[in-house]
Chains A and B, each alone.
Chain A
């Protein structure tokens, strides 16, 4: 256990010293994904706005809830798409990096950070769109936005271990790539991304309370929507983040040398 943790910290600290590598590679990745397109990464912004627009158009409730709904969906989709992308890209992470893993001695955490940074950059475009939608839909910049920002940082803090856990899952259990992909697609309907929990429908209530992703969404959304500090959501998220870190460190410490034999 102690040895595993030492191994993990060793891997992580080496990766942090090599931060130039993953920063450079993440930028290459973004560039590659949008090579030869006219809008380049701006497509990410266009996609995001199109999605929010569609949801608002189809699901916007009538009456007094209407105004807040755009803000609700905008933040919900921002966080959900980010988490979904992180998880679905992670399961095949080590397989994708096969040629680097089999040809260099880079610590595995370098690949984790490369994906993390890449996802954050991509989400950055959506954040711009989200802020614009929030301002247009009548939210006012104010103190509660700082709580949302803290929520974003908490999500950021959870990203590397989340990637690590899913990457090991995908390496040891290749079928999980398809299972996770499908679960995430279904998961959108069981997470309060675009529906609101009114506490009347028991399925909805259950999905709201027992889905950990609910809280990741709510720490960013509730401060802006309700202007309050969602203490409960923050506590649940912090516990989830620490648990993910613990699992990730153990996996990294114990199994990092095995990965090269598995991919």
Chain B
């Protein structure tokens, strides 16, 4: 059963943990999480007491100002960051799309990059071979697939990244602001694929500043500010929120 359950999750970025011979630099705060401590022991509270549950078929839109903790939350869900406190329980095969350039090799061709990405996601060679043509067709990159990745435009890179990440039917798909680069026709296509994915009882979590995108893709919306949940709509049936 595909599910995500977060219980009072917090995450702290420590800024001066590294041992260094140089004088500590002064980091200046902007919007976003709270900067606490001083001197060598500064830290940013990027997530604070985050609790929510998602079930199969849920499509959650994450919104909030810059630095609210959206990317951080996605990385906690993916397992890149171990939370500083609280519990994360995830059932299901997770795939994620962060920065579109992450995990791609600039010198390698699109085709080779598909193979590498597949291997990284734990696919077998047979699975990659089987999906290769679908991925290329879906990305509509045509002959560009045999050109090095560095020759791609942002939107072309986004097409490739999305096609690969959704090719093996992930049960949980996490996406961070990726879609802006794709053109209208590709966004439409991507939306249809996400619909399919959610219908197969998957979970989608999408962080975006585009209200329209969230409206059209998501069934739930969570607003984060300063690392805390400000609102979650529709409200969960059982009210389990304890922190005020």
Chain A residues engaging chain B, CB cutoff 8 angstroms = 17-18, 20-21, 24-25, 28, 31-32, 35, 99-106, 172-175, 257-258, 260-262
Contacts and interface: CB of A to CB of B under 8 A. Distances in A.
A103 B103 contact: yes
B interface: dominant SS? loop
Interface of B: 13-14, 17-22, 75, 78-82, 96, 98-99, 101-103, 105, 107-108, 112, 115-116, 119-120, 122, 125
Nearest to A105: B79
A28 to B, nearest CB: 6
Contact of B116 (A17, A25, A258, A262): A25
Nearest to A262: B18
20 contacts: A17-B122, A18-B119, A20-B125, A24-B119, A28-B105, A28-B107, A31-B107, A35-B107, A99-B99, A103-B98, A103-B102, A105-B78, A173-B18, A173-B20, A174-B20, A175-B20, A261-B14, A261-B17, A261-B81, A262-B18
A24 B122 contact: no
Contact of A28 (B19, B22, B108): B108
A18 B98 contact: no
B80 A102 contact: yes
A24 B80 CA distance: 22
A99 B101 contact: yes
Given A28-B108, A261-B14, A261-B17, A104 B119 contact: no
Contacts of A257: 82
A261 B75 CA distance: 12
A24 B19 contact: no
B103 A262 contact: no
A172 B98 contact: no
A257 B11 CA distance: 13
B17 A262 contact: yes
Contacts of B17: 258, 261-262
A256 B15 CA distance: 18
Contact of B102 (A25, A100, A258, A260): A100
A23 to B, nearest CB: 9
A28 B115 CA distance: 12
Contact of A104 (B20, B105, B120): B120
Nearest to A35: B107
B108 A105 contact: no
A31 B115 CA distance: 16
A256 to B, nearest CB: 10
A99 B116 contact: no
Contacts of A175: 19-22
Nearest to A179: B21
Given A175-B20, A260-B80, A262-B18, 8 more contacts: A18-B122, A21-B120, A32-B107, A103-B102, A172-B18, A257-B82, A258-B17, A260-B81
Nearest to A21: B119
B103 A99 contact: yes
A168 to B, nearest CB: 12
Contacts of A102: 75, 80, 98, 102
Contacts of B13: 261
B125 to A, nearest CB: 7
Nearest to A31: B107
Nearest 8 CB-CB pairings of A with B = A103-B102, A257-B82, A21-B119, A173-B19, A105-B79, A20-B119, A175-B21, A99-B102
A37 to B, nearest CB: 13
A35 B109 CA distance: 13
A105 B20 contact: no
Nearest to B113: A28
A2 B96 CA distance: 32
A175 B19 CA distance: 8
Contacts of A106: 120
Contacts of B103: 99-100, 103-104
**Residue among A103, A173, A175, A260 facing the most chain B CB atoms (10 A cut-off):** A103
Contact of B99 (A18, A21, A31, A103): A103
Given A173-B20, A262-B18, A104 B116 contact: no
B18 A174 contact: yes
**Residue among A18, A99, A104 facing the most chain B CB atoms (10 A cut-off):** A104
A28 B116 contact: yes
A103 to B, nearest CB: 3
